[in-house]
A and B are shown apart, each in its own frame.
Chain A
Amino acid sequence: MLRTTTGVLSRLTINETKTTGSAFALEFVRWRRKPRWLPVAKSKLFRVPERKQQNADEKAELMRLHNNYKLQMRSLRQYLREEVLRLNVTTTADHIVLTPEQEEAEFQRCMQENEAWNQKIAVERNERLQRELEEKAVEIRQRLEAARIREEERLERADEVVRREIELSKSFITRDKLDTAIEQALANPVDYNFSLDLKGNIYRGRNTVPGGKGTPTLGGANEIEVQQTLKASN
């Protein structure tokens, strides 16, 4: 129960004593406000407080005063804000302000200095461009020369090929020469056959026997092996 919370009550009493500071003014708090967390009392649950009727004149007057106050405060704040802005713009507290003439003179001085710098660079650039142009010209000339030499070599090689072909064309078998060529071919048969022994000696011809015509000189070669190889190849 609320009334039995003696601790709170006694503490309150002490505080009261302290604040008043006089034993005569000692006052016991028996009733005080209900704590916030307690619900509405049962007896007051359905009580609807009556709304006080305000006098119309009084209301109008209060409204007028209120409006006046609001308006004045608003204009004051706006004025102060503008003043701060103006100060920020015109203040010289954090930067140096030059007169327009000084500024212009400074600007002209910088411009002239820059002009001199630009002139100097322009001269150097022109020299560089000239130099690069010459280098480029030399390079182009060299490359043209190289291309010319390459072309000449190519023509030379082509001429060589043509000359060789003309040379070769003398031995071509034409329709006129066909009979002669056939006769000659029949008269000189060519035998591409050959055989090998184990030492890698080549024996040209189909019917060549070791020691015969076309036989490589065998320094003490194994005769039997050669014979066998020949037999196998035949």
Chain B
Amino acid sequence: MPFMKGRAPIRRTIEYLNAGRLVLKDKVKIFSVNYNTHGDHHSGARELVFWNLCQIQYKNPNVQVVALKNMTPSPFVRCYFEDGRDMLIDVDSRNREEIIEHLCKVVGKTKAQLDAEAHLAESKDNPANFGYGCDRHCICEIPGQVPCPGIVKLPDHLRGKFIFAPK
């Protein structure tokens, strides 16, 4: 797909895709939306599919995201879980924001969970980090940094013994 072609090409920008709020739980394997192309009470689901489905798929690359249209009298979202159960979410006469809000609450990861995971992922990935579970044990392993005082004595002007000594 060429970048600036078609309806609302902003949907294909990385900023827009990253701005999606719905990160599904690990247990969710299939995310399906049923909606009709006509009808006022389907407009929320329709807009969800148009504006947010790309974000959902981008944020959840391991989830199958399907949109089924013109097969139902009343729009709904259905999430299938790992263990074979599923959750049916009615989205009749709801607008896009309400639907997303509710989905985040019901099948999405919570804010705390996301933050914690981001933190963990960052500490794992970032080569600048040091300490337990990182590439290096201590910053003193980097050439040019101050060596650990347990191994090499610090310069006197950094030692409390000299800083706080009575003149």
- What's the minimum C-beta distance from A145 to chain B, rounded to whole angstroms? 27
A125 interface residue per 8 A CB criterion: yes
A186 interface residue per 8 A CB criterion: no
- What's the minimum C-beta distance from A125 to chain B, rounded to whole angstroms? 5
Q: Which A residues, 151 to 207, have Cβ-Cβ distances below 8 Å to chain B?
A: none
B2 interface residue per 8 A CB criterion: no
A96 interface residue per 8 A CB criterion: yes
**Docked pose: A113 CA to B133 CA in angstroms:** 39
A125–B93 contact, CB under 8 A? Answer: yes
Residue of A nearest to B118 (CB): A94
Contact with B along A106-122 (1 / 0, CB 8 A): 01001101100110011
A95: chain B residues within 8 A (beta carbon):
26, 117, 120
B117 CB contact (under 8 Å) in A94, A111, A113: A94
B124–A94 contact, CB under 8 A? Answer: yes
Given contacts A94-B121, A96-B117, contact A113 B90 (CB under 8 A): no
A110–B106 contact, CB under 8 A? Answer: yes
B90: chain A residues within 8 A (beta carbon):
117-118, 121-122, 125
Residue of B nearest to A117 (CB): B102
- What's the minimum C-beta distance from A210 to chain B, rounded to whole angstroms? 76
A70 interface residue per 8 A CB criterion: no
Q: How many A-B residue pairs have CB under 8 A?
A: 51
**Docked pose: A124 CA to B93 CA in angstroms:** 8
Chain A interfacial residues counted at CB < 8 A: 17
Q: Which B residues, 119 to 155, have Cβ-Cβ distances below 8 Å to chain A?
A: 120-121, 124, 133
Q: Among the interface residues B41, B88, B113, B133, which one has the most CB atoms of the partner chain A within 10 A?
A: B41
B10 interface residue per 8 A CB criterion: no
B124: chain A residues within 8 A (beta carbon):
93-94
B107 interface residue per 8 A CB criterion: yes
B32 interface residue per 8 A CB criterion: no
- What's the minimum C-beta distance from B149 to chain A, rounded to whole angstroms? 30
User: A114-B106, A117-B106 are known contacts; what are 14 more A-B pairs with Cβ within 8 Å?
Assistant: A93-B133, A94-B120, A95-B26, A95-B120, A107-B27, A107-B81, A110-B87, A113-B106, A114-B88, A118-B90, A121-B91, A124-B93, A125-B41, A125-B93
**Docked pose: A121 CA to B26 CA in angstroms:** 27
Give 20 A-B contacts (CB < 8 Å), ordered by A residue.
A96-B120, A107-B81, A110-B87, A110-B106, A113-B106, A114-B88, A114-B106, A117-B89, A117-B90, A117-B102, A117-B106, A118-B89, A118-B90, A121-B91, A124-B92, A125-B41, A125-B74, A125-B90, A125-B92, A128-B93
B133: chain A residues within 8 A (beta carbon):
93
B87: chain A residues within 8 A (beta carbon):
110-111, 114
A114–B89 contact, CB under 8 A? Answer: yes
B94 interface residue per 8 A CB criterion: yes
B105: chain A residues within 8 A (beta carbon):
110, 113
**Docked pose: A190 CA to B125 CA in angstroms:** 114
**Docked pose: A107 CA to B107 CA in angstroms:** 9
B88: chain A residues within 8 A (beta carbon):
114, 118
B113 CB contact (under 8 Å) in A96, A103, A107, A121: A96
